[in-house]
Amino acid sequence: MEEEKSEIVDSSDPGQFFHSMQKRRLGSSELELTTIGIGTWAIGGGDWAFGWGDQDEREAIVGIRKGVELGVNWIDTAAIYGDGASEVLVGKALREIPESERPLVATKCGRIMQEDGTVLGRLKSESVVAECEASLRRLGVDCIDLYQIHWPDPDGDIEEAWTAIAELKKAGKIREIGVSNHGVEQMERLQPIHPVASLQPPYSMLNREIEEDRLPYCGEKGVGVVCYSPMMKGLLTGAFTRERAQALSDKDHRSRDPKFTPPQLDLNLEVVETIRPIAEGAGRPMAQLPLAWVLRRREVTSAIVGVRKPSQIEQTAGGGDWILTEEELEVIEEALRIRQEKLVALGDTSQGWV
């Protein structure tokens, strides 16, 4: 079974790589999030177009609980992850955690599972309301802390969906409302209806598109940023190899992602080997380095890390307090510059899938 996992180390001492868990305010909202968030995309299983392969349910629940024990105070999920399967597991985990220790929960709407496992975008008001009610039931909560439009698809309906979500907030079913995978122009269209609390985009060393426009915009407008795939679906953890990429299951969507096949795969792994000494020199797992890198930007509130089992969060939780030096950042920048030059020389400048 393939999964986004961190470097294999002795985890007999779960706190060996853990430092103090930092918090940052989510933009202008009332929420304060730890700089590391628990991601649950992968625990939705493999029976849909963007699945990650089969998942052991108990391992997922124990992984979530371990993250909370280590101080992570929020979980990110979505209705589409396994057609509700991820939310169900999050709900089971929440019921096993004492109420006083329960983390904040963020989830999303606007993606509908088809019978063949493909995904359809739907943002009509009645659909958004029905999705919210279904998420509340699966999660076993009375109020969702952060509710987001998953994708602006179809684009023409984002205002209708946003209006419905604002009404759900007014009704007390949602605390804060945000968007995922939206551009600046789309957020600008929504702001007059209700302020956008947060944006959830993909952001990593290997996908820096948001640095051009969305990060500056969010910083200026007080929109929080919670980035997903900061470890580029496992590529930047230090544990990924060419052999693992070749062995990915057909149920794992990464087997169809250009970043996981040559020539991009080889160049991405070269980056990891070039910057690995930074982690070794700091006495930290390689998996913490890409987290520290995205969190170097003050616009970023939190980095979401996939948790399929407890050993993963044991290694990544400490990445939220690591402040990289200018020299370390320069080494990373040079490695990324060389990668980009080689991609251009190969005629391959695509970003690949998020």
In-domain check, residue 269: no
Report the C-alpha gap between 302 and 283 in whole angstroms.
22
Cα dist. 297→203, 224, 250 in Å?
11, 12, 36
Per-residue pLDDT of the chain (354 residues; tens, 9 = 90+): 333 333 333 333 434 444 568 999 999 999 999 999 999 988 887 776 777 677 788 999 999 999 999 999 999 999 999 999 999 999 999 999 999 999 999 999 999 999 988 899 999 999 999 999 999 999 999 999 999 999 999 999 999 999 999 999 999 999 999 999 999 999 999 999 999 999 999 999 999 999 999 999 999 999 999 999 999 988 999 888 888 888 888 877 888 888 888 889 999 999 999 999 999 999 999 999 999 999 999 999 999 999 989 999 999 999 999 999 999 999 999 999 999 999 999 886 554 433
Total number of domains in the chain: 1
Half-sphere exposure of 90 (CA within 13 A, CB side): 34
Q: Find all residues with CB under 8 Å of 299, minimum gap 6, and list them.
A: 215, 216, 218, 219, 225
Q: How far is CA 41 from CA 60, 75, 289, in A?
A: 11, 11, 21
- 297 located within any domain: yes
Q: What is the pLDDT, as a whole number, of residue 252?
A: 79
Residue whose C-alpha is closest to residue 4's, from 41, 34, 59: 41
CATH code, 139: 3.20.20.100
- The DSSP symbol for 52 reads B
Query: Quick one: pLDDT at residue 352?
Result: 42
Say which residue the tokens 């946003």 belong to. Answer: 162
The reply to whether 295 falls in a domain is yes
Q: Which residues pair with 258 in a beta bridge?
A: none
pLDDT of residue 12: 37
Instruction: Please give the pLDDT value at position 54.
Output: 79
Give the DSSP per-residue string, 245-294: HHT--TTBGGGG-GGGSTTHHHHHHHHHHHHHHHHHHHT--GGGHHHHHH
Does 265 reside within a domain?
A: no
Task: Give catalytic status of residue 81 as yes or no.
Answer: yes
The phi, psi pair for 261, rounded to 5°, reads -130, 150
Identify the CA nearest to 174 among candidates 182, 188, 187, 164.
164
Rounded Cα distance between 143 and 136, Å, is 7
Helices (H), the chain: 57-69, 85-95, 125-139, 158-170, 184-190, 214-221, 242-246, 264-282, 289-294, 310-316, 326-345
For residue 87, being part of any structural domain is answered with yes
Phi, psi of 303, deg, nearest 5: -110, 130
- The pLDDT, as a whole number, for residue 10 is 36
Query: Which domain covers residue 85, as residue numbers?
Result: 23-238+285-321
Task: Confirm if 287 and 7 have CB atoms less than 8 A apart.
Answer: yes
pLDDT at 354: 39
Q: 93-102: list long-range contacts, CB under 8 Å, 24+ apart.
A: 93/60, 93/61, 93/64, 93/65, 94/139, 94/140, 94/141, 95/140, 96/61, 96/65, 97/65, 97/68, 101/68, 102/68
Query: Given this model, what pLDDT does residue 48 score?
Result: 62
**Alpha-carbon span 249 to 264, nearest angstrom:** 19
Output the pLDDT for position 9. Answer: 35
Pairing of strands 23-25, 32-34: antiparallel
Q: What is the pTM (predicted TM-score) of this model?
A: 0.90
Q: Give domain status of residue 8, yes or no.
A: no
**Does a structural domain hold residue 149?**
yes
Q: What CA–CA distance (Å, rounded) separates 45 from 167?
A: 32
Catalytic residue chosen out of the listed positions 81, 147, 203, 228: 81
List, in sequence order, every residue forming a beta bridge with 269; answer none if it has no partner: none
Is 141 part of a structural domain of the chain? yes
- pLDDT, residue 349, reads 54
